[in-house]
Amino acid sequence: IAGALWALIPGILKATRNVNVVISGIMCNYIGMLLVIQGIKATIYNSTGAESYAVSKARSIPGFGLNQIFGDRVNLGIIIAILLCVLAWFIMNKTTFGYELKACGFNKDAARYAGMNEKKCIVLALMISGFFAGIGGALTYLCGTGKTLPITETLPNEGWNGIPVALLGFSNPIGCIFAALFIGYMNVGGNYMQALNIAIEVIDIIVAVIIYFASFTLFIKALLERYQRNKKRKAEMQNEGGKTE
């Protein structure tokens, strides 16, 4: 809920003043980060490590039997994440609300001409994204692996990792499940590679290359679609010319 309410700010700015969501979102990220730091210091601050206290096993997300199959690091959180992705796919592809969101995303002027409230769709889209971000942060902190929130003025990598996940998943909620597993394995593998004196930055390089190639496929796809449209238009013009003669 806090994530949804926080994302309401860039949503309103985009809907009413057409402020770039990347700029307003990053600014809100840093403001939110500083507010969270103040909240940690006031409530769950561990002064010996300049971080928050870790969530105890008794209060973390239950394993639901998955921890006995896959190990202590797997719990009910992964089921919640997958179900949310499936829910997002269903809403976007099987409901009128999802159709309106996609229509506004493709062309808000055309959506407004069709009678849709594009401002409401923009605000709700940002709030939904903030809701998912909040759920992701809660699952990360409550997973029972001893993870803490450090008191440092740097944004966590989990948020930035959402960008390559969305690119690799082609902005499809189901595709993002597999893309997130892939990026997650890359990051965890990078941590273990340090034991072999391999720089962890190698993982960042590999992920960056993957992002570039994923973006390049979108570029190629756009070129092919443009070529098909031009080819179809020329064929229609030739047919019309033949009928006229």
Q: For 34-54, write each residue's pLDDT tens digit.
A: 999 999 999 999 988 889 999
Residues of the chain whose pLDDT is less than 70? Answer: 241-245
Q: Are residues 196 and 150 in the same domain?
A: no
| pTM, two decimal places | 0.82
Q: What proportion of the chain, given as a percentage, has pLDDT over 70? A: 98
**23 in the same domain as 55:** yes
**How far is the C-alpha of 139 from the C-alpha of 4, rounded, in Å?**
16
- Measuring CA to CA, how many Å separate 81 from each of 34, 46, 84, 113, 138? 27, 29, 5, 36, 11
Q: Last residue of some domain: 116, 132, 155? A: 155
Q: Note whether 233 and 192 are same-domain residues.
A: yes
Judgement on whether residues 147 and 63 belong to the same structural domain of the protein: yes
pLDDT at 244: 61
pLDDT of 245: 59
Q: CA 153, CA 34: separation in Å to the nearest integer?
A: 7
Contact (CB, 8 A) for 98 and 116: no
User: Alpha helices of 169-200 — where are they, by DSSP H?
Assistant: 173-193
Residues 108 and 229 both lie in one domain = no
71 and 139 fall within a common domain: yes
Q: How many residues make up the chain in this entry? A: 245
Domain that holds residue 76: 1-155
Domain count, the chain: 2
- Domain end among 155, 170, 185: 155
> Helices (DSSP H) in the chain: which residue ranges?
2-17, 21-43, 66-70, 76-94, 96-106, 108-113, 118-141, 157-168, 173-193, 201-244
Same domain, 145 and 86: yes
**CA–CA separation, 116 and 125 (whole Å):** 14
142 shares its domain with 92: yes
User: Do 151 and 178 share a domain, yes or no?
Assistant: no
- Statement to judge: residues 105 and 165 lie in one domain: no
pLDDT tens for residues 183-225?
888 888 887 888 788 887 887 788 788 778 877 887 888 889 9
Contact between 101 and 125 (Cβ < 8 Å): yes
189 in the same domain as 151: no
Q: Which of 155, 186, 205 is the last residue of a domain?
A: 155
Q: Are residues 7 and 59 located together in one domain of the fold?
A: yes
